């Protein structure tokens, strides 16, 4: 035995000596052979330092991952507490198309059904808005905005004619409204 094993040798084997087939003495560790003890010690030291650096890097990555997971848990807890008593809330009220058919006077040919109605059932929409606003108020919030959400069809092409014709915007319709409310401070909430 030539070398001594340190407590923190990172699993790198001890330096030993052995005789070759030709009677030479070589220094070995971990299956590596060296002509001099100094070369074996130098390489062993380099391998140990490399393994220490790799271990430190793995520990640093594990610590970063653990820290990231801790931060994500803290943020999730903050969001959960906020969601229990949110400062600002939003609610969606969907509009429904009117069941009435769109029939128009069409020149000398008489009345003609012009297709899908894009009129909103105002009674249903206003009733929906009222119900949601009532729920919001009873929960301790004050409505601060009601914003319509409009959908539509673009690049509409008219049938007929040589080129067909068309328009950049076909038609739009109200899909519903988003109601935004803020917690009322006068209620001690």
pLDDT for residue 1 is more than 50: no
Give the pLDDT of residue 2.
47
Give the pLDDT of residue 66.
96
- Report yes or no on 9 lying in a domain: no
Higher pLDDT, 158 or 5: 158
The token pair at 3 is 């070398």
Separation between Cα atoms, residue 93 and residue 122, nearest integer Å: 12
116 and 33 part of one domain: no
92 and 169 part of one domain: yes
- Report yes or no on 141 lying in a domain: yes
Q: Are 93 and 179 in contact (CB under 8 A)?
A: yes
Express each pLDDT in 44-66 by its tens digit. Answer: 999 899 999 999 999 999 999 99
Which of 81, 103, 126 represents a domain boundary (last residue)?
81
Q: For residue 155, name the pLDDT band (cuts at 50, 70, 90).
A: low
Express each pLDDT in 57-111 by its tens digit. Answer: 999 999 999 999 999 999 999 988 888 888 999 999 998 876 555 555 555 656 6
Q: Are 183 and 86 in contact (CB under 8 A)?
A: yes
92 and 182 part of one domain: yes
Higher pLDDT, 180 or 159: 180
CA dihedral 152, 158, 164, 167 (to 10 degrees): -40
- Report yes or no on 3 lying in a domain: no
179 exposed, middle or buried (CB, 10 Å; 0-12, 13-18, 19+)? buried
180 and 141 part of one domain: yes
98 and 167 part of one domain: yes
63 and 93 part of one domain: no
pLDDT for residue 138 is more than 90: yes
Q: For residue 189, name the pLDDT band (cuts at 50, 70, 90).
A: very low
51 and 71 part of one domain: yes
52 and 122 part of one domain: no
54 and 73 part of one domain: yes
Q: Are 153 and 170 in contact (CB under 8 A)?
A: yes
Separation between Cα atoms, residue 86 and residue 79, nearest integer Å: 9
Give the pLDDT of residue 104.
56
pLDDT for residue 121 is more than 90: no
* Segments forming the whole domain that contains residue 53: 16-81
Express each pLDDT in 5-37 by its tens digit. Answer: 455 787 888 888 988 888 889 998 888 888 889
Which of 47, 81, 115 represents a domain boundary (last residue)?
81
- Report yes or no on 2 lying in a domain: no
Which of 38, 57, 81 represents a domain boundary (last residue)?
81
């Amino acid at each position: 035995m030539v070398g001594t094993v340190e407590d923190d040798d990172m699993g790198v084997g001890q330096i030993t000596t052995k005789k070759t087939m030709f009677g030479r003495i070589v220094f070995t560790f971990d299956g590596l052979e060296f002509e001099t003890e100094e070369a074996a010690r130098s390489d062993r030291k380099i391998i140990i330092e490399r393994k220490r650096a790799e271990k430190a890097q793995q520990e640093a990555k594990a610590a970063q991952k653990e820290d990231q997971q801790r931060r994500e848990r803290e943020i999730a807890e903050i969001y959960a507490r906020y969601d229990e008593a949110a400062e600002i809330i939003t609610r969606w009220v969907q509009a429904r198309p009117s069941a009435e058919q769109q029939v128009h006077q069409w020149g000398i040919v008489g009345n003609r059904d012009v297709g899908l109605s894009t009129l909103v059932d105002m009674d249903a929409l206003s009733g929906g808005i009222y119900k949601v606003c009532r729920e919001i108020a009873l929960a301790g919030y004050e409505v601060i905005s009601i914003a319509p959400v409009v959908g539509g069809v673009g690049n509409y092409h008219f049938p007929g004619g040589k080129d067909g014709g068309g328009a950049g915007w076909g038609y739009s319709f109200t899909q519903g409204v988003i109601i935004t409310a803020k917690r009322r401070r006068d209620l001690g909430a």
